Amino acid sequence: MKKAVFAAAAAAFACVTAPAHAATTVWQGDLFITAVSNTASCNAVNMSVGDFARGVFRPKSVAGNGTADLLAWFFSRSSHQLAPTGNLLNGATAVTLRTIFGSAGFLQFTNWTVSGVVVSPAAPAAATKTVSIQITVHDIYSSSTSAHSGCDVTMKGILAKKP
């Protein structure tokens, strides 16, 4: 009886102390800016062709990864997260865009416009070694009415499965 109680207590402790992300499968790597649509506007917010950010992709196609694809990228001056409106990033045209600025300011926009979104393979499995992503985010740092509007940024990257 003592062994059964001890085993149950150990199992419960393991469940409580295990990190929440333990069952999550993600891919990470660098996303490079390959195009900007409005050089003056993008330069005003320090976005240039050749810049890169650390990218993390969590697809919903893998069991335990949630109900929607998520793509996040991190510059030294800001962080962004995209949650596609239709739950799949591949082919998405609208997303919820969350941004944390270097000043610790936070903005969230729903139905933010994206285009040219290609995830390959479109539905990665847990055994997939790499995922290729291309995405254009429109008005990346601002609303369409702000002084920096028109900064459309295209990023591409090949992300490797996190061990």
State phi, psi for 150 to the nearest 5 degrees: 90, 5
Question: DSSP characters for 87-142?
Answer: S--TT-SEEEEEEEETTS-EEEEEEEEEEEEEEESSS--TT--EEEEEEEETTTTS
Structure tokens, 153: 């940024």
pLDDT of residue 78: 85
pLDDT of residue 16: 33
pLDDT of residue 3: 45
| Domains of the chain in sequence order | 24-161 (2.40.128)
pLDDT tens sequence for the chain (163 residues): 444 433 333 333 333 333 444 568 999 999 999 999 877 778 777 788 999 999 999 999 999 999 999 999 998 888 999 999 999 999 999 999 998 888 888 889 888 899 999 999 999 999 999 999 999 998 887 655 555 567 889 999 999 999 8
State how far the Cα of 139 lies from the Cα of 157, in Å rounded to an integer.
20
* DSSP label of 77: S
Do residues 143 and 149 make contact, with C-beta atoms less than 8 angstroms apart?
Answer: yes
